[in-house]
Structure 1
Amino acid sequence: MSQPAGPGPHFVPRAHINPRFEEDLSFHLVSGPDRYASTTELPVRYVAVADAKGTVTGYVWANDEDGAAGQIDRRDAGHQAVNLRPRLTDAKARGLAPTAVLQELVADAGPGHLVAGPVATAPHLRLLDELADRHAPGRRWSAARGALLGLAVGDAMGRPLSNLTMDRITATYGDWRRMELPLYDGASVRVSDQTQLALATAEALADVAVRAPLTEAEARHSLTTRGALPAPPWLTPDAATTALRTHLVRWLRSPDNDRSPGRTTVDACTALERQVPWQSATALASKGCATVVRAAAVGLTPYLSGEQRSGIAQLQSALTHGHPTALAASDLAAHAVHLLAHGHEPAALIEALRAHAAASRWTYRADWLGDLAARAGAESPSAYVAQGWDECLTALDTVAAALATKDPNREPGTAVGAAWTADEVLAGALYAFLVTDGPRWTLRRAAHTSGASAATAALAGALAGAHRGPSPWPREWQEAIEYRERVDALAKAWDRD
C-alpha cells in the first residue's frame, strides 16, 4: 500500500512542448494598402479635429522624417470621434508626404471634420496623448487636500501683503526667504475672499459632479459600446450653472463676506441673485484674477472628462468675469492643477499648457458659454476665444523666458508682470512654483511680490499641493488655517480614489 505524500509542494511533470510553440510571434504584412508608420520619437505636426458642433474629438499628427502619421482620439470622444484614418490611407496611396495630409485637412475642412485651428507642433507624441486625456496616470494620494490647504495657506500669507509696494513688503516682512505664516490671534489665520470663492466653487461642484466611480462591469460595458469611459452624464451645463450660481449667491450673503472682495465679483453675484441670465450678469470687459484661483477647484474635481473640465473652468469664470482672457486663463489653471494631481512632471508643465492653449485656440464651448461671444460684440465665437488664448500664450512665453535664468530672488511681478489680471496672476503662480525647489519656498516667493499677493500665492499653493499632497505643509499651518473643516469635507469626498 502506497504511503500518502508528505508535506511540501508537488509538481506535475511537464509534457514535452515543441520549442517552436514558445517562440515570440512576429507578423509581416503580406497584402493590403500601404500605410504611414504608426509612431515616431521625433517632434510631430498636428491639427485638432472637431465634430460639427465644434467640440474637439481628437488629433491627426504627422512626421515627414519617419514617414509617420496617425490619429489620436480623445478619451471621452467615444463614437462621436471623427474618423480620418481612411484619409491617411488614401493620401499614402497617392504618395503624399505625411505633413501634406495635414494641409489638405485644413484646406478641406467641412461639416464632417472641422479642423480646429492651423497646424501646430508638438515635441513628441506623448504630449498629444495628454491633450487627448489618454495619459491618465493614477491620481496622487491626497491631491485635493494638499491643493486646497496650499491654496488657503498661500492666500493667508499673501493677504497682508496685497496692495503693498515691494519696498514696504521688504521693510515690514523682511527677505522673502524668511517669511512664515502671518501671526494670528490664537484661533485661526484669516484668509481672503480668494479662498472663500474657491471653496464655494468646489462645494458647488461637489454637489453635482461627484458620484461613485463606475464598477468594473460598467466600465467594461462602456468601453465596449462607446469606445471610451463616459463623462458624468448628470453633469450638464445647466446643472453646473445652477450649482455655481447658488453657491456664489450664498457667498455674497454670508456674514463671513467681510474681506473687501472685488467690486466686479460682488456686482456680478448681486445680478446673479436676481435670476437674470448669467450672460447679463457678468462683466464682459473684466479679466480679473479671482477666476483663476477659483479654477483650481475645477482641476481637482474627480471623474470629469477633458471637455467638462474646460467647459466648467470657463463657465465659472464667465459667471463674473466675461473677458476671453479670464476664460482661457481659468481653463489653463484648471488644466495645470489636474495634470499635477495626476503625476505630471513640473519641468514639462509649461510645454503641456502651451499645447493645451494651442489646441483650444479656436474652440468656443457653446454648450457652456451660450451666447456670451455675441453679447460681447465679437466678430465670431472663434475670434472671441482666440483673443484670450493668444494673451495667455504670451503669458506662458513670458514665464518660460523668466525661468531660463532660474533666479528665485527675482520677484514674480518683475519677472512676469504685476497686473491684477487672470493671465498675469496665472503667470506669477506658475513662475513661483517652477522657480523654487519646494512648496514652502513656493508660497514665500509667490506672496512676496509686487503683484496680486493673495491670488498669486493662493494659486501657487494649489499647484504645489496638487503636486506634493499635504505633507509639505507644517501641521501648525494646517491646524491654524480658517475653514479647515470645509477643506476636510472636500478632501474626504475627492481623495477617496
Structure 2
Amino acid sequence: MISTSALRASGSLFGLAYGDALGKPTEFLTVAEIQRRYGPTGPRELSGEPALVTDDTQMALAVAWALHEAPSLTPEVVEPLLRRRFLAWAVSPDNNRAPGMTCLRACAELSRGLRWQEATVAGSKGCGANMRVTPVGLLDVDLDTLAGLAQLQAGLTHGHPTGLAASELTAYAVFALRAGTTLAELPAVLTERARSQRLVYREQWLGDLWQRPGVGTPEEFIAQGWDECLAVLRRLTNALGQPDDGGDPCRATGEGWVAEEALATALLCAVRHADDPVAALARGATTAGDSDSIAALAGAFVGAAAGMAAWPTGWVDRIEYADQLATLGAAWD
C-alpha cells in the first residue's frame, strides 16, 4: 500500500481544488469581513455538498486532461488538445464561476480558428496564466519540456512575457516540491531558476509570439517577464525574513490578480504554514486580493510537498470534480 504522504500528484491536485473552494466565497471581500464571517484564521472547513470550485480548478482540469490524452508532449500535439479543452470549458454550462475576461476573450478568438499567437490577449499577465498550470509540474519530463508546456498553456490566453515566466516558475515549483525540495528552500530555488532562464526564449513552443512593436529581439521580450518575477521573488524573500504579523500576505507580495503576484503570495502562505496545510489554504483565502487563486496555488504547493496526507481525510469525497481529480492524481502518482 502506498503511503498517502507519497501521493504527491494527488495531494497537489486536491490541494489546488480545496484552496479554490475555500477562497471562492471570500474572493471579493475585505479581510475584516472574511474574519468577521469565519473567525481570525479564516475559512478552514469545506462548505457545500459538494464544495464548489471556480474556473481555477476547471481550467486546471482542462490542462490536465489535454496533457493526459496527448500521445506525445510536443507543441504540435499539445496545442490542439489545449485549444479543444479550453473551448469546451468556455461554452460549458458549468462555466458560471466569474471566469476571467482574458480567458473568455482569447477563447472567443481561438474559436474562430486563429493561430494562438494571434488569438491571445498580448498584454495580459493575469493569474489565469498560472492558476491552471499545476498539472504541468506533475509530469515526469525534462525541464525544457516542462518549461515549454507551461509557457504554451499560458500563452494560448495570456501573451504577456510575465504570464509566461510566472507559469513556468509555478510549474517548476510543483515539480521541485514533488521531487523533494522543501517549501523553505523553494524561494531560493525559484530565484536561481529565474536567473538562469532570463534570456531563454523558447521559439519551438512560442513561435513568433515575441514580435511586438518596440521589441527588438526574443530575448528582450522574455527578459521583461523574468525580471518582473525576480522582483516579486525578492519581495517574497524579504517578507519571509521578517516575523509573521498574521496580517494579509498581499501587503508583502501583491494581491495576486497578476501572475507573478499570485505565485509569490501563494508561496508566502505555503511557506509560512508548511506544517499546517489547512492553515496555508485559510491564509490564502483570508486576503484582500484574488483569494481563490492564491489559496488554490498554496494548496497545490503544500500538496506537492506533503501528498494526500496534508488534507483532512473527509474532504476527498466532498469536493467538486473529485472523480476527475482522483483519476488524474492516480495516473501521475
Shift of 1:476: 2.0
Aligned residue in 2 for 1:181: 45
Matched, 1:297 2:159: no
Q: 1:459 aligns with which of 272, 297, 301?
A: 297
Contact preservation (8 Å) 1:208, 1:240: yes
- Cα deviations across residues 97-131 of structure 1 (Å, max 9, x unaligned)? xxxxxxxxxxxxxxxxxxxxxxxxxxxxxxxxxxx
When normalised by structure 2's length, the TM-score is 0.95
- Cα deviations across residues 302-360 of structure 1 (Å, max 9, x unaligned)? 2x111010011011111001111110000000000000011112221111101100000
Aligned residue in 2 for 1:166: 31
Shift of 1:367: 0.4
Q: Which 4+ residue blocks in structure 1 deviate beyond 4 angstroms?
A: none
What is the 5 A alignment of 1:47-446?
A: 141-176=6-41, 179-184=43-48, 187-208=49-70, 234-302=72-140, 304-375=141-212, 377-407=214-244, 409-436=246-273, 437-446=275-284
The amino acid of 2:113's aligned partner reads Q
Contact preservation (8 Å) 1:412, 1:451: no
- Give 3-state SS (helix, strand or coil) of 1:410's partner: coil
**Structure 2 unmatched ranges of 5 or more:** none
Larger Rg: 1
- Cα deviations across residues 269-322 of structure 1 (Å, max 9, x unaligned)? 1111221100111000001011112111110122x1110100110111110011
The amino acid of 1:321's aligned partner reads H
Q: Which has the bigger relative contact order, CA under 8 A and spacing at least 6?
A: 2
Structure 1's 376 and 242: CA in aligned 2 closer, same or farther, altered over 3 A?
farther
**Structure 1 unmatched ranges of 5 or more:** 1-139, 210-233
Shift of 1:408: 5.8
- Cα deviations across residues 405-438 of structure 1 (Å, max 9, x unaligned)? 2416132111211251001111100100111132
- Give 3-state SS (helix, strand or coil) of 1:195's partner: helix
The amino acid of 1:267's aligned partner reads R
When normalised by structure 1's length, the TM-score is 0.64
**% of aligned pairs identical?**
43
CA distance in 2, matches of 1:279, 1:430: 30
CA distance in 2, matches of 1:307, 1:419: 26
CA distance in 2, matches of 1:256, 1:373: 34
Matched, 1:485 2:323: yes
Shift of 1:377: 4.8
Structure with greater helix percent: 2
- Give 3-state SS (helix, strand or coil) of 1:373's partner: coil
The amino acid of 1:179's aligned partner reads P
- CA RMSD of superposed structures (Å): 1.3
Shift of 1:376: 5.9
Structure with greater strand percent: 1
